[in-house]
A and B are shown apart, each in its own frame.
Chain A
C-alpha cells in the first residue's frame, strides 16, 4: 500500500509578505500586493499597456558569509531558497539526522532565470563582445537552477527534478513530490515553486499577448479581481512557495506537526490550444474528477477550492464551469477563493502558494478574502466567494492550476486526522 503523504513545513516569499506568518496575516486582512511597476529602472513605462504587478519589495539576500548559494543564482531561485529555508525550519527537520539520499527536490518553474537572461542578452548585443557574457549565465538560466541550488543548499541527494508547465508548474511539483513518496523513492520531498520574471522583455511579451489587466493602471490595487465583472486580465506577480512533503510514517516517527494530508493529484492535457482553455470546462472537470478519484474522495465531501482564478475574462468563467460539472449544487455551498486577487499571478509559484493557503485554511478554518470581488460576474459568481474573510471548518480542499500549453493540474488536500 502506498505511503500516506503529509505536509509538515511551509515557506513563502510573496508580494504581501516574506515568510508565512506575515503573508497569512496580510492575506486574512485582504491586503493587496499589487502596485505600479517600479523595477524597470529608466525604462519608459508609459509605453507598456499594463503597468501594474505584484512585486516583492522586502526581500533581503542573506549575508554571503552565511549563504554562499543565493548570490550565485537569479532572483527566482533566491526566492525559492528563502522559502525552502523557512519551510525546513518550520518543519523541524534536522537535516544532519536525515539520510540525504531519502530527501528529494521537485521545483516548479515557469520562466526561470529571465532576469539574468535579459541582462546578459543586452550586454552581448550592446557590447558585441561575446567574452562579456557572464560565466555563470548558463548555470543560472538553466531551468533547473532552482532545484539544483536547493539540493546543494540542504544536501538533498534524492530525486531532483524541475517541472515547467507554465502556470501549473508547482501544482505538478507538489503532485510529483507526493508520487515520489508514494512510490517509496524518498521519505521527504522539498516541493517548491518560484518565478521572478517581471522584466522589461517578459512583461512586454505578456502585454503583447493581451493577457494582462490594462484598465487599472492608475488603481493598481483594483487590477486583480477574479470573478468580478470588471476583470480584464491577469496581473503578473513574483514569489516562491515551498512545502515540506513527507511520508506519514516519517513525519510521525519524528513527531512532526502536520498541516494537512495530500491525498490526490491529477495531471491532464486539454490537447486543445496553447493559451486558450476549452470553453466548456470539460477538461478541467475531468482533471478534478481524476484528482478526487485518486484521493478516494467524493464530490460531496469537497468543501473548499483554492481556485486558479487569474482574473481573465474567459479563464475564471471556464474554471467555474468545470467545477460545476463535477461538484454540481455542492459548489453553491462551499468556499472558493482566489489567492491571485491578493498577489497577482506568480506563475511558477502560484500553485505552491495556493497549496500553502489551502493547508493553512484546512488547519485553521479561516479562509482569506477574494479582494475586489465587488460586482460578482453572474457567469462565475458563487455564494461561497467573498471579499471578506470567512470562517468555516473545511476538511477537504482542491487546489487548481491551469497552464499555457493546454495543461491542467489539481491537488486534493485533507485535514489531517
Chain B
C-alpha cells in the first residue's frame, strides 16, 4: 500500500500515540513509510500485538484479510481513515490521554525472526 499522509489528523495522531506507546518511541519520530517489520523490527507476533492495541484504541475489529495489508505505519493510518469515512460509518477517535514514553525501542531494527501472520502451533 502506498504510504501518504492521511486526511484525518486526529486518526494519525492517535495511531502514532498508540504505536509510540507500544513501541516505546516518541510518536513524533514515527514516519508513515516506516515498515513495521524492516524499520521497527517487529516480528509477526509483535505486529499482531500492535494491531491489537490499535483495535483496542479504536474499538474495532480488523479482519485477517485486512490485517495482511498493514505493512507500514502509513498503512495503518490510511486503513483507519478508510474505515472512518465510507458510508458515514465513522470511527470514534479516542482522546490522547497521556504522552508516550520516550524510551528506546526494545526491538532492534534487524530482520525479524518471522513474517507470517499465521502461527505454527
Are A279 and B114 within 8 A (Cβ)? yes
Interface residues of B, dominant DSSP: loop
Q: How far is the CA of A47 from the CA of B55 in the complex (A)?
A: 13
Q: Closest residue of chain A to B52, judged by CB?
A: A208
B121 an interface residue at 8 Å Cβ cutoff? yes
Which A residues are in CB contact (< 8 Å) with B114?
273, 276-277, 279, 314
Complex Cα–Cα for A196 and B101 (A): 42
Query: In the assembled complex, how far is the CB of residue A379 from the closest CB belonging to chain B, in whole angstroms?
Result: 12
Quick check: is A318 within 8 A (CB to CB) of the other chain?
A: yes
Q: With A and B bound together, what is the CA distance between A371 and B119 in angstroms?
A: 21
Answer whether residue B8 sits at the interface, using C-beta atoms and an 8 A cutoff: no
A210 within 8 Å of B (CB atoms)? yes
Contact in complex: A274, B45 (CB < 8 Å):
yes
Chain A nearest CB, measured from B41 CB (Å): 13
Q: A313 and B121: CB pair below 8 A? A: no
Cα(A345)–Cα(B118), bound, Å:
14
Contact with B along A207-234 (1 / 0, CB 8 A): 0111100110000000000000000111
| Docked-complex contact B45 and A275, CB < 8 angstroms | yes
Known: A49-B64, A210-B67, A232-B64. A312 touches B121 (CB 8 A): yes
- Quick check: B117 and A210 within 8 Å, CB to CB? yes
A310 to B119, CA, bound (A): 10
Inter-chain contact A233/B63, CB cutoff 8 Å: no
> B48 contacts which chain A residues (CB < 8 A)?
208-210
- On whether A214 and B63 interact (CB within 8 A), knowing A208-B52, A277-B120, A312-B120, the answer reads yes
The 8 closest A-B pairs by CB, nearest first: A276-B114, A314-B116, A312-B118, A211-B119, A275-B119, A277-B120, A315-B120, A214-B64
A-B contact pairs, 21 of them (CB 8 A): A47-B61, A49-B61, A208-B52, A210-B117, A210-B119, A211-B118, A211-B119, A211-B121, A232-B64, A233-B118, A234-B121, A272-B113, A276-B44, A276-B116, A312-B119, A313-B117, A313-B118, A314-B118, A314-B120, A403-B120, A404-B119
Q: A49-B61, A210-B48, A310-B121 are in contact. List 12 more A-B contacts (CB 8 A).
A: A208-B52, A209-B119, A211-B118, A232-B118, A274-B45, A275-B119, A275-B121, A276-B43, A277-B114, A310-B120, A312-B119, A315-B118
